[in-house]
Every structure is written in structure tokens, then in C-alpha cells.
Chains A and B, each alone.
Chain A
Amino acid sequence: DAGITQSPRHKVTETGTPVTLRCHQTENHRYMYWYRQDPGHGLRLIHYSYGVKDTDKGEVSDGYSVSRSKTEDFLLTLESATSSQTSVYFCAISFSGSVETQYFGPGTRLLVL
């Protein structure tokens, strides 16, 4: 299994509070991704990173920001959580961004009340 961990694994928070999710990898892969998974939707890309301090938006980036200050960590921040951000969040990594397989972390279940 790829060495990917996510923390926390579960979180309950209130509307309007900031939330930060962490993805940590031990594989030294260049690319890291944040997805959300909701019923009736496939996994949807929020943001991705192609190197330290290099990030770009995915298809559902509104309301989210990311940071990557070192290769192994990719942080996803909800500046002011809303109920529509209740979801399961998956981090993924890949060695390169071309046809390489993405390997997924265990997921973080977030509930915004």
C-alpha cells in the first residue's frame, strides 16, 4: 500500500468554523490531490499540487484553499465551513502527472452542522 495517511479521519464541526485536513505521504511523490466524494457524484477534484508551493484548482475549488510547504504534506483548508461541504475527502498521490496511477488515502469523513 502506498504510504498515505489522512488526519483527522473523522471530524464534526459547526458552520462558519475553519477546518484543516492533512494529507501526509512517505512516497516522495511529486503530485498530490484532494477529492471529495458525495452520493450521486464521482470523485471530484478540489485542488492539486505538482510540487512544493505549486498548486492549482480542480473542478470544485470554491470555498477551499490548499498549501504545500513540503513534499510530504498537502493541507486542505475550509476557511469557513458550510453544510454543503459535508463530504468524504480523499487525498491521492502520483509519481508524475501524466498517465501515472493515483494512489488514494483512507479518506476523512467531515460533517458540518
Chain B
Amino acid sequence: ILNVEQSPQSLHVQEGDSTNFTCSFPSSNFYALHWYRWETAKSPEALFVMTLNGDEKKKGRISATLNTKEGYSYLYIKGSQPEDSATYLCAFRAGANNLFFGTGTRLTVIP
């Protein structure tokens, strides 16, 4: 069992604000880092998968960076909108098959 930590656990931001949160994972045996977006009453939806140190991914207003040497990834949301309200999960892959999930950051965007 590997420890994947996400912070903060939850946050509230005003519509239009930019925000970011962190995923920390073991820096050894790195294979891949996944980000998911999980809306209430739905299933997790894949955002990014990153494999290389220094990787940056972008999808619309959402972007992510990866530092495998120090074991962290940041997820950024630019100009938050109410529809961005969701729980954002990261998952660390140490081997070919197993993903270890963090408990998520619950984002609420206030109109």
C-alpha cells in the first residue's frame, strides 16, 4: 500500500479565481501519475496521465505539472467556473497494474 496525499482536502473559491492543489506521492518506483475529475453522483472522469518528470499537460482551463524527483504534481484551474465544482483525484502508479488513489480535493466554485 502506497501513500498518496492530496491537499487541501477541500476548498471554496469565487467564480473567476484561479486555484491549484497538490498531489504528493512516493518518489521511488514511479511509473505514472493520473488525474481524475469526479462529479457528485457520477463516475471518475480521466483528465491527464503523466509519465515523465517535468511533464505538463493542459485541457482547456485545467493544467497539471509533474515532479517525479520530489514526488509531487500540481493541478491548476484558471478562471474557475461553477461547473468546475467536483472532487479532483490523483492516482499514483508504481507498477504495471495497480493505481493508488489519494482521497481527493473537493473544489466548490461559488458563483
Contact = CB atoms under 8 A, between A and B. Distances in A.
Q: Do A and B come from one complex?
A: yes
Given A31-B97, A42-B103, A44-B101, A104 B34 contact: no
Interface in B83-111: 89, 91, 93, 96-104
Nearest to B96: A97
27 contacts: A31-B97, A40-B103, A41-B103, A42-B89, A42-B91, A42-B100, A42-B101, A42-B103, A42-B104, A43-B89, A43-B101, A45-B98, A48-B97, A59-B1, A59-B98, A90-B43, A97-B96, A98-B32, A98-B96, A99-B51, A100-B49, A101-B34, A102-B46, A102-B99, A103-B46, A105-B43, A107-B43
Q: Which of A59, A104, A105, A107 has the most CB of B within 10 A?
A: A104
Interface of B: 1, 4, 31-32, 34, 42-46, 49, 51, 89, 91, 93, 96-104
A107 B41 CA distance: 9
B97 A50 contact: yes
A55 B82 CA distance: 41
A45 B43 contact: no
Interface size, A (range): 20 to 34
Contact of A99 (B4, B31, B100): B31
Given A42-B4, A97-B96, A99-B51, A104 B32 contact: no
A76 to B, nearest CB: 16
Given A44-B101, A45-B99, A104-B44, 5 more contacts: A42-B103, A90-B43, A97-B97, A99-B93, A106-B42
Contacts of A58: 98
A77 to B, nearest CB: 21
Contacts, number: 54
Interface string A32-60: 00000000111111001010000010110
